[in-house]
Amino acid sequence: MKKNVVRIAIAAMLLVGGLFAIQLYLDSQVVQGAKAITIIVKDDQETVLLDKVVHTDAETLGDLLDELAEDKVITIELAGSKTDVYGRYIVSLFDKMGGTNGPWWLFESDNNTECVSQGFCNGIDKNPIRDQDSFVFFLGMGDW
């Protein structure tokens, strides 16, 4: 009886160790820039300022915008804090300011899971991104 308990314990340890090794291997195989995200930016005249597919490992749209600003793909000014209820908001993109009474910098997506399921997109820091998502940023009044 005691031998069976020892054998089962050894088998369980080997199984857990094997699963741990597999997870370590899979984590080491993560490709940089695994997500391809389409970003389109339009001004209030519908002029396209940016239409680009970017590759990222960012988890949220806010993190992706931070990366794009750091890489000098966009110029952006944000206000608020990531820890706010809706996160930060966009004050200006490509030196085009949103107004205090509108138009504001807004964004939408026709294929982001969160945006589609809710009927609207969360704030940039609360909106997760997935491979092949597409986002359009524009100056608008919103339809509230």
Taking residues 17-42, what's their average pLDDT? Answer: 72
For residue 15, give both structure tokens: 């199984």
Give yes or no for a contact between 108 and 136, defined as CB atoms under 8 angstroms apart.
yes
For residue 3, give both structure tokens: 């031998």
Sign of CA dihedral 48, 109, 123, 38: negative
Checking if the pLDDT of 20 tops 80, the result is: no
Give dist(CA 100, CA 109) in Å, integer: 24
pTM of the entire structure?
Answer: 0.75
Taking residues 84-94, what's their average pLDDT? Answer: 92
Residue 18 pLDDT grade (very low, low, confident, very high; cuts 50, 70, 90): confident
Give dist(CA 132, CA 128) in Å, integer: 12
Buried b (16+ CB within 10 A) or exposed e, 113-143: ebbeeeeebbbbbbbebeeebebbbbbbeee
Percentage of residues in the chain with pLDDT exceeding 90? 64
